[in-house]
C-alpha cells in the first residue's frame, strides 16, 4: 500500500484547477493590447472600462482562450486514451498517424479544392483523422490476434509517413497551397473565431464523453489483455470505443490548431506523476480528467508566450509547445523513469 | 507498481525481443581448417542474394531512362568504359553519380536503422525518429532561410546538424551510462526542438526559401554529382565494416544489460560505438541526399520480416534500403512525367504499403510486433 504523500484534494483538484483558471485569465489579459487583470474581471462581469477593451476581450480573446481550452483538453484526452489502449507510453496522435491524416486531408482541401479558410477545411481534417485512425486500427488489428501495441505503433508510423509524403507532394507542386499550409502546420490559435469552436465543439464533446466513459475499462486493460478479458472486458468493443473517441478528439483539435505535438504525449505522464504523488496510482478515472485539465494549461501557456516574446509578430503556439516541451520532456526523462502503464 | 524485484526497462516501451517460433532453418557449421565455426541461415543468405540482384537491376534500369533513353547493355558498357563516347559521357557524368548516391544513401540509411533498432530493441527508434535527421534539417533550413550558410554547402550544414543533434542526444541521455530506452525518449525531445526551429523558420521566412527548404527536407537526388558521392563513399568504407563487426556483440544486448555483461560484452562501449556508427551513416547519407523519409525505419523492418530473423539483419537492411531509394527514384522520374518529384516523397508512398503488407501478413503475435 502506498501512503498519501500530500493531501489528494490539493494535488488533484485545487492545483490543476487553479493553474487553469490563472492561465485563462492571463490569456484574456495579455496580447497586443494588455489589459490589467482587475479590468479583465470587470469586463467579464459586464462593467467594461472602455468599448475597445470590451470588444477586444469578448470578440477576440475569449474565443481564442476557449479554443485553446477545448483543443488542449481534446489533445490531452486523446493522448491519455491512446497510451492506455496501446499500453505504450510513447503513443500519441502524432505517432499513430491521426494528425498526419488530418494534415493530408487539409493539404488536399487547400491544394486540390483551393479552400483557404478553416471554415472549409474542418470537415476535411475530420475525415482525414477518421480515415487514418481506422486504417491504423484495421492494419494493426488484422490477423489472428488482436493488435499488439508494437504492431499498432508500426502501422501508425507507416501510415504517417505515407500520408505526410503525399502531403509534401501536394504542397511541393503548388506554391500557393504551400503558403497557406505552412502557417496552419505550425499550429496556431490565432486567426480563429467563435464560429470555428462552435463547429467542432459537438465532436469534441462526444469524444470526451466516450473517453471518460471508458476509464474503468482502461483500468482493467492495464492488467494485460488476458487478465482484462478474463475479468469480462470485451476487448474489441473497448478498442472500437477508444478509436472513435480518439478520432473525434484529435480530428477536431487538429482541424482547429494544426498538428501540435508534445501535448498528447506528455500530459498523461504529468497526470501520472500527480496521481502517484497523491498516493492513488495510475487510475484512469483520475488520469483522464487530469489530462483534460493539464493539457489546456500547457497550450495556453505556449500561446501567451508566443504573443509576448516577439511582439508585434506572434509565434505560433504549436512551435513554442514543441520548443519548450522538448527540454521539459528531456528533463522528465532524466529525473525519473517515466511511470509505466 | 514496484515489486520486490528491480524492474528492467518497461516492456511497454521496448517491445520484448520477439521469440521466434519458427525461425528459418539454422545450420551450425564447424570447419577444421580454417578453424571457423558459426551458424548459417540459408534463408537470410537467399534473401540477401535476391535483394542484391534486384538492387543491381533497378540500379542499371534507373540509368537507362531519362531524356535520352539508353539500352541496358549500353549502360553496362558505358559504366565499364567501353561503348561510344557520347553515351559514356551521359552515363558516367550524369546518371552514374545520381544512381550511386541513391545506392549508397539507401545502404547507409538501412544499416543505420538496423543498428539503432537492434540497440534500443525498439522498431520505432530509427534515426529519423530520434532527432538526428531533424537536426540536419534545422541546420540546413537555417542556412537557407537566414543566409547563415557562412559559405558552407548544404551538405556540410546537414552533416554538422546531424552530428550536433546526435551529440546532444547522447550527452543528455547519459546518466551513469545510457540505456536504449533513454536514448529514444531524449531523442524524441531533441527532435521536437529541431522540428520547432524548422517550422518557425519555414513559417517566418520568405516563400521562396520555404519552397527550397521543403524541397531539401523531403530528400532529393536531383542534380547529385560526384561531389556528393565522394564523402559518402569514404565514410561508408569505414563505417559499414564496423557495423558488420558489431553484429554479434550488439545482439547480446537484446538479452538485457546484465546478461550481456555476463557474456563478456562491454555494454556501454558497444552502445557508444553503435551510436557513433549509426549516426555517422545517417549524417553522411543526409548530407548527400537530404533526410530521405522512412528508409531508415522501414528497410530494417522489411528485411527482418523477409529473412524471418529475430532482429533486423544489417546487410539485408542495407540492401533493402538501397532498393527502396533506387526504386523510388525510378518511380519519381517515370510515373509522373514533366515533374521531378523529390525521391523522399516516393519512398514514403512506396515503402509504407510494403511495410503494412508485411505487418498484415505476419499475423502472429510476436513476429517482430
CATH number for the domain spanning B323: value is 1.10.3470.10
- Give the C-alpha separation, A131 to A150, whole Å: 20
In the numeric block, which cell numbers belong to residue A100? 498526419
Q: Which residues in A lie closer than 8 A to residue B344 (C-beta atoms)?
A: 165, 168
Q: Which of A159, A186, A334 sits opposite B203 (nearest CB)?
A: A186
pLDDT value of position B149: 57
Nearest Cα residue in chain A from B176:
A334
3-state secondary structure of A4: coil
Instruction: Determine, for residues A143 and B360 on separate chains, whether the beta-carbon distance falls below 8 Å.
Output: yes
In a domain, B29, yes or no: no
Residue B27 has phi, psi (to 5 degrees) of: -115, 105
Chain A positions in Cβ-Cβ contact with residue B342 (cut-off 8 Å): 168, 172
User: Cβ–Cβ of B193/A186 closer than 8 Å?
Assistant: no
Note the pLDDT of residue A44: 82
How far, in Å, CA of B85 to CA of B62, rounded? 20
Give the model's pLDDT for residue B111: 94
How far apart are alpha carbons A83 and A88 in whole angstroms? Answer: 5
Q: What is the pLDDT of residue B8?
A: 42
**Structure-model confidence comparison of residues A2 and A313, the more confident one:** A313
Nearest to B172 among A88, A151, A330 (CB): A330
Task: Assign B40 to helix, strand or coil.
Answer: strand
Instruction: Report the distance separating Cα B294 and Cα B126, nearest Å.
Output: 9
Does B14 map to a domain? no
Domain that holds residue B130: 39-365
Sort out which chain A residues have CB atoms less than 8 A from B196's CB and list them. 318-323, 326
Distance from CA of A143 to the nearest CA of B (A): 4
In a domain, B349, yes or no: yes
- For residue B318, what pLDDT is reported? 95
Return phi, psi of residue B36, to 5°.
Answer: -125, 140
Helix axis angle for A62-86 and A235-257, nearest 10°, is 150
pLDDT at A61 over 60: yes
Mutate to test the interface with A, among B365, B366, B368 (most CBs of A within 10 A): B365
Whether A311 and chain B come into contact, CB under 8 Å, resolves to no
Which chain A residues contact residue B173 at CB under 8 A? 333
pTM of the entire structure?
0.78
Residue of A234, A194, A198 lying closest to A214 (CA atoms): A234
The answer to whether B189 contacts A330, with C-beta atoms less than 8 Å apart, is yes
pLDDT in tens, B201-237: 887 777 777 777 877 787 888 777 888 888 899 999 9
Helices then strands, each counted (H, E), chain B: 14, 2
State the average pLDDT over residues A194-216. Answer: 87
What is the Rg, in whole angstroms, of the alpha carbon atoms belonging to chain A?
Answer: 20
- CA atoms of B79 and B74, how far apart (whole Å): 9
DSSP state letters, B205-229: S-HHHHHHHHHHHT---TT--HHHH
Looking at residue A289, its pLDDT comes to: 93
CB contact under 8 A, B207 and A150: no
Q: Three cell numbers at A202?
A: 459537438
How far is residue B290's CA from residue B285's CA, in Å, rounded to a whole number? 7
How far apart are the CA of A311 and the nearest CA of chain B, in angstroms?
Answer: 14
Return the residue of A nearest to B2 by Cα.
A340
Count other Cβ atoms within 10 Å, centred on residue A320: 26
In a domain, B178, yes or no: yes
**B contact test, residue of A143, A180, A257, A333 with most B CBs within 10 A:** A333
Tell me which chain B residue has its CA closest to the CA of residue A2. B1
In this structure, are residues B333 and B40 in contact, taking their beta carbons and an 8 Å threshold? no
Is B300 among the domain residues? yes
Q: Which residue of chain B is at minimal alpha-carbon distance from A152?
A: B369
Q: How confident is the model at residue A43 (pLDDT cuts 50, 70, 90)?
A: confident
Structural domain total, chain B:
1
Which of A85, A150, A166 best probes binding to B when mutated, by most B CB atoms within 10 angstroms?
A150
* Residue segments in chain B with a per-residue pLDDT below the cut of 50: 1-24, 364-369
Pick the residue of B169, B188, B329 with the most A CBs within 10 A to test the interface with A by mutation. Answer: B188
* Per-residue pLDDT band at A73 (split at 50, 70, 90): very high
Flag whether pLDDT at A184 surpasses 60. yes
**Block residue for cell numbers 564447424:** B30
Q: Please state the rounded mean pLDDT for residues A9-18.
A: 81
**Does A164 contact chain B (CB < 8 Å)?**
yes
Question: A179 and B365 in contact (C-beta within 8 Å)?
Answer: no
Residue ranges of domains in chain A = 68-339
CA-to-CA distance for A129 and A136, rounded, in angstroms?
10
Instruction: Establish if A143 touches chain B: CB-CB under 8 angstroms.
Output: yes
CATH of domain A68-339: 1.10.3470.10
Report which secondary-structure segment, H or E, holds B38.
strand B36-40
Q: Does A144 touch chain B (CB under 8 A)?
A: yes
Distance from CA of B97 to the nearest CA of A (A): 25
Is residue B26 in some structural domain? no
Q: What pLDDT, on the 0 to 100 scale, is given for residue B1?
A: 38
Distance CA A244, CA A128 (A): 13
State the Cα torsion B263-B267-B273-B279 to the nearest 10°: 120
**Residue of chain B whose Cα is closest to the Cα of A223:** B1
The residue of chain A nearest to residue B178, with distances taken between CA atoms, is: A334
Contacts of B301 in chain A (CB under 8 A): 154
**pLDDT score recorded for residue B364:** 47
Q: How far apart are CA B241 and CA B318, in angstroms?
A: 12
Angle, CA B255 vertex, CA B250 and CA B260 arms, to 5°: 65
Report the pLDDT value the prediction gives residue A146, as an integer from 0 to 100.
47
* Residue A320 forms contact with B (CB below 8 Å): yes
Share of chain A above pLDDT 90, in %: 11
Amino acid at each position: 500500500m502506498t501512503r498519501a504523500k500530500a493531501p489528494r484534494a490539493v494535488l488533484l483538484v485545487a492545483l490543476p484547477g487553479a493553474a487553469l483558471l490563472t492561465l485563462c485569465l492571463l490569456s484574456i489579459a495579455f496580447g497586443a493590447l494588455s489589459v490589467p487583470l482587475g479590468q479583465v474581471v470587470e469586463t467579464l462581469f459586464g462593467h467594461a472600462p472602455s468599448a475597445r477593451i470590451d470588444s477586444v476581450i469578448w470578440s477576440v480573446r475569449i474565443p481564442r482562450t476557449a479554443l485553446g481550452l477545448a483543443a488542449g483538453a481534446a489533445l490531452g484526452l486523446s493522448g491519455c486514451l491512446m497510451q492506455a489502449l496501446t499500453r505504450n507510453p510513447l503513443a500519441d496522435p502524432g505517432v499513430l498517424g491521426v494528425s498526419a491524416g488530418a494534415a493530408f486531408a487539409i493539404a488536399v482541401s487547400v491544394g486540390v479544392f483551393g479552400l483557404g479558410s478553416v471554415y472549409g477545411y474542418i470537415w476535411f481534417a475530420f475525415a482525414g483523422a477518421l480515415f487514418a485512425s481506422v486504417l491504423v486500427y484495421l492494419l494493426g488489428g488484422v490477423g489472428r490476434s488482436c493488435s499488439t501495441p508494437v504492431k499498432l505503433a508500426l502501422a501508425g508510423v507507416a501510415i504517417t509517413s505515407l500520408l505526410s509524403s503525399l502531403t509534401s507532394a501536394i504542397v511541393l507542386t503548388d506554391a500557393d497551397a504551400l503558403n497557406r499550409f505552412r502557417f496552419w502546420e505550425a499550429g496556431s490559435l490565432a486567426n480563429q473565431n467563435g464560429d470555428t469552436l462552435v463547429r467542432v465543439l459537438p465532436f469534441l464533446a462526444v469524444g470526451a464523453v466516450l473517453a471518460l466513459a471508458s476509464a474503468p475499462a482502461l483500468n482493467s486493460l492495464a492488467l494485460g489483455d488476458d487478465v482484462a478479458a478474463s475479468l469480462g472486458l470485451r476487448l474489441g468493443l473497448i478498442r472500437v470505443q477508444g478509436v472513435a473517441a480518439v478520432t473525434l478528439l484529435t480530428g477536431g483539435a487538429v482541424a482547429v490548431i494544426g498538428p501540435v505535438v508534445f501535448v498528447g504525449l506528455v500530459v498523461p505522464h504529468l497526470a501520472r506523476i500527480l496521481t502517484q504523488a497523491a498516493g492513488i496510482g495510475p487510475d484512469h478515472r483520475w488520469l483522464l480528467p487530469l489530462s483534460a485539465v493539464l493539457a489546456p494549461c500547457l497550450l495556453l501557456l505556449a500561446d501567451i508566450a508566443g504573443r509576448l516574446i516577439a511582439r508585434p509578430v506572434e509565434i505560433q503556439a504549436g512551435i513554442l509547445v514543441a520548443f519548450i516541451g522538448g527540454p521539459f520532456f528531456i528533463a522528465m526523462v532524466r529525473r525519473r523513469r517515466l511511470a509505466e502503464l | 507498481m514496484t515489486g520486490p524485484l528491480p524492474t528492467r526497462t518497461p516492456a511497454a516501451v521496448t517491445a520484448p525481443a520477439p521469440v521466434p517460433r519458427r525461425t528459418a532453418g539454422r545450420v551450425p557449421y564447424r570447419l577444421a581448417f580454417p578453424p571457423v565455426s558459426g551458424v548459417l541461415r540459408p534463408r537470410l543468405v537467399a534473401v540477401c542474394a535476391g535483394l542484391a540482384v534486384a538492387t543491381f537491376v533497378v540500379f542499371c534500369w534507373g540509368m537507362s531512362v531519362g531524356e535520352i533513353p539508353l539500352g541496358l547493355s549500353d549502360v553496362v558498357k558505358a559504366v565499364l568504359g567501353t561503348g561510344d563516347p557520347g553515351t559514356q559521357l551521359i552515363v558516367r557524368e550524369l546518371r552514374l553519380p545520381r544512381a550511386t548516391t541513391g545506392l549508397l544513401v539507401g545502404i547507409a540509411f538501412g544499416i543505420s536503422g538496423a543498428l539503432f533498432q537492434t540497440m534500443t530493441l525498439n522498431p520505432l527508434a530509427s534515426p529519423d525518429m530520434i532527432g538526428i535527421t531533424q537536426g540536419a534539417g534545422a541546420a540546413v533550413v537555417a542556412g537557407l532561410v537566414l543566409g547563415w550558410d557562412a559559405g558552407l554547402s548544404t551538405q556540410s550544414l546537414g552533416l554538422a546538424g546531424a552530428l550536433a543533434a546526435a551529440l546532444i542526444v547522447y550527452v543528455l541521455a547519459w546518466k551513469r551510462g545510457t540505456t536504449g530506452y533513454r536514448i529514444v525518449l531524449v531523442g524524441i525531445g531533441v527532435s521536437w526542438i529541431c522540428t520547432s526551429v524548422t517550422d518557425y523558420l519555414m513559417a517566418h521566412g520568405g516563400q521562396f526559401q520555404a519552397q527550397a527548404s521543403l524541397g531539401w527536407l523531403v530528400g532529393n537526388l536531383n542534380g547529385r554529382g560526384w561531389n556528393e558521392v565522394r564523402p559518402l563513399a569514404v565514410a561508408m568504407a569505414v563505417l559499414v565494416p564496423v557495423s558488420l563487426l558489431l553484429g554479434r556483440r550488439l545482439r547480446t544486448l537484446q538479452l538485457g544489460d546484465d546478461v550481456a555483461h555476463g557474456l563478456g560484452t562491454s555494454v556501454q562501449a558497444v552502445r557508444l560505438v553503435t551510436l557513433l556508427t549509426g549516426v555517422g551513416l545517417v549524417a553522411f547519407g543526409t548530407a548527400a541526399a537530404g533526410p530521405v523519409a522512412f528508409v531508415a525505419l522501414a528497410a530494417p523492418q522489411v528485411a527482418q520480416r523477409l529473412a524471418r530473423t529475430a532482429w533486423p539483419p544489417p546487410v539485408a537492411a542495407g540492401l533493402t534500403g538501397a532498393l527502396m531509394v533506387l526504386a523510388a527514384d525510378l518511380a519519381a522520374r517515370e510515373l509522373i512525367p514533366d515533374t521531378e518529384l523529390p525521391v523522399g516523397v516516393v519512398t514514403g508512398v512506396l515503402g509504407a504499403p510494403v511495410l503494412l503488407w508485411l505487418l498484415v501478413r505476419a499475423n502472429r503475435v510476436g513476429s517482430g510486433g
